[in-house]
Structure 1
């Protein structure tokens, strides 16, 4: 075990000893009871080192009821076939690339897939413009390297190397943000299932159960676009935006409830009407047309994703809880919507003002929301 791994283990043990509750538990911890119930009821064939069968993994993501009465909550609301394709990809020798616009739950799906398949979603490489090759391959403990020279004890394995050695699922976030030359270090891993360590004259061979889930944004095309050689190593699944307003409202309300409970925010008695209003505003501006199809709209520069709607409503709940009467009202979400819509102070403000005056002002039952938005925009 490396120094960093020892420190992390000691920290986790100390936190557990004093009863510290994580602000955001990993999926395998937050939904441990569901995973345990699924494992107990799962009598279908499991690929090597999988904690659940592909059927049970799909049930964990999409939700359902088990014979013993255990309710599995949906983690992803969307086409079932997409989830089935993603799960079966992980049971083959091809890696999985989750692609979509920002806010389509790529990271969320990636985490829950890894939790259900391997029981550990923490073997993660976060892609950025500064991600070095060591994050994909391995690094060195330089104190040991200088004292004793290259050795296995001095080597610091990357999450990918650990996943290969243990037959688990590794995750790579924002793959297209990683420099192209670093991306290409994945080719041998994904095609040959080996990771050479030339300094030691050795290699790490992947054991059965190993695979990779990567995520990438459509908006990042042209940043560090994947080479054709690397793209061929992935099976790509495109996660779409929610197909209907009801589906998006369901997603937002579920996630807001989960986040609110983790932050000890009181449940809003009549919050559903404001959640539906936020979703309606986001969808209309995103689609460039009102719900009834009668009015064409200009779209702002931002994505106005489901994830941003969740953030707006969660912030509104906090305002209602700490500075209001606990009831989610238009004034609690108005400022959050303004911040999400107006990213470009010049162009987006014009889009927002036009939407307020031509749509919100004339809509029945939206007068309080109109006034709150005008005050937030002043």
Structure 2
């Protein structure tokens, strides 16, 4: 990423076909980071588009899954997984049913929802972040209280929420962690999704969704029992389950791609060769996640954490920072050992025992893993 030495202006930098435009922004929105790819797809896309969609469903799927356009432009994969899952998700958004992306933590639910909104509407920022304290106003609308006190309820005092804006403009709204939102706030979505209208009783009016509007929600299936979706609300969604990567090679590919992107955005010097350590971290996470070694010979205890692909990306990125700033730029076992320990040992009592057993019964005996074993033993003491 290039910087303007005379100021804080944006200097586009091309990395493959993706152009990161917001130099001063730590994490550009998908529509900004991949603006060139989206523009190339729009130029080449001659297929029918639903109302107000920036791309056809085929082009949206190509944007997420990657591919090559007739002019030679390479579209980088944003999601590595079964093609049918992406096709079902995109087809859902082309109907009047909302989309619920469900999965364990770290299966790229937020990542996929952001890129879907960017490709469909060109705007991924109409977002409601679900928490235990998310109020009804975040889903519907709020008020400018200074104007409300002086003028009373009026259109000028109304502050539209992201979902309301999406309805009025025919865009795609996003709700993260839907099952974290209190049940009574969730229920405000029922009329909105079934009738495609948002009543504003204070003004005696309503906002009706224009064509092109839809909603993507994500939910963590580890949160079952927190704020379960009512059957009435669940019926308003088409649920797509995002699985963990099916194979170690697929997970290594995902981690490698995301680590490279994050390294560029953080201006980390490129590691000489990080593949071996990425594969090692992925192997550890997959084996502990499954409770079984890759060769199927040894049963293992699983720790309390999820050990997701997202956590593997975080561990490797942290290791690259260590290698770049305190080493010789080569990612080594000592650079990732502390990160692996932190990801595995979430419960200091139970998880530490699981980790020590894994070190002694698996890592210690594995050919070529002696440096990793010693590094992990050093940080585990």
Query: Is residue 277 of structure 2 the alignment partner of residue 277 of structure 1?
Result: no
Q: Specify which of 208, 213, 231 is matched with residue 228 of structure 1.
A: 231
Displacement of 1:20:
5.2
Q: Specify which of 49, 55, 63 is matched with residue 52 of structure 2.
A: 49
What does residue 340 of structure 1 align with? Answer: 343
Query: Is residue 267 of structure 2 the alignment partner of residue 264 of structure 1?
Result: yes
SS in 1 for 2:342: helix
Count how many residue pairs are aligned between Structure 1 and Structure 2: 365
Which consecutive residues of structure 1, in runs of 5 or more, have no partner in the other structure? 1-13
Query: Is residue 140 of structure 2 the alignment partner of residue 137 of structure 1?
Result: yes
Aligned 1:109-258 pairs, distance under 5 A? 109-258=112-261
Displacement of 1:157:
0.3
Q: Determine the C-alpha separation between the residues in 2 that align with 1:116 and 1:20.
A: 22
What does residue 36 of structure 1 align with? Answer: 39
Displacement of 1:141:
0.1
Q: Specify which of 95, 99, 115 is matched with residue 96 of structure 1.
A: 99
Displacement of 1:251:
0.1
Change (3 A) 1:16 1:160: farther
Q: Determine the C-alpha separation between the residues in 1 that align with 2:150 and 2:9.
A: 35
Q: Deviations over 1:18-47 (max 9, x none)?
A: 985210000000000000000000000000
Query: Is residue 350 of structure 2 the alignment partner of residue 372 of structure 1?
Result: no
Kept after mapping to 1: 8 A contact 2:10/2:24? no
SS in 2 for 1:196: strand
SS in 1 for 2:175: strand
Q: CA RMSD in A?
A: 1.2
Q: TM-score scaled by structure 2?
A: 0.95
Q: Deviations over 1:142-190 (max 9, x none)?
A: 0000111100000000000000000000000000000000000000110
What does residue 3 of structure 2 align with? Answer: none
Which consecutive residues of structure 2, in runs of 5 or more, have no partner in the other structure? 1-6, 12-21
Displacement of 1:266:
1.3
Q: Determine the C-alpha separation between the residues in 1 that align with 2:326 and 2:270.
A: 15
Q: After TM superposition, where is structure 1 displaced by more than 6 Å over at least 4 residues in a row?
A: none
Displacement of 1:16:
5.8
Displacement of 1:268:
1.1
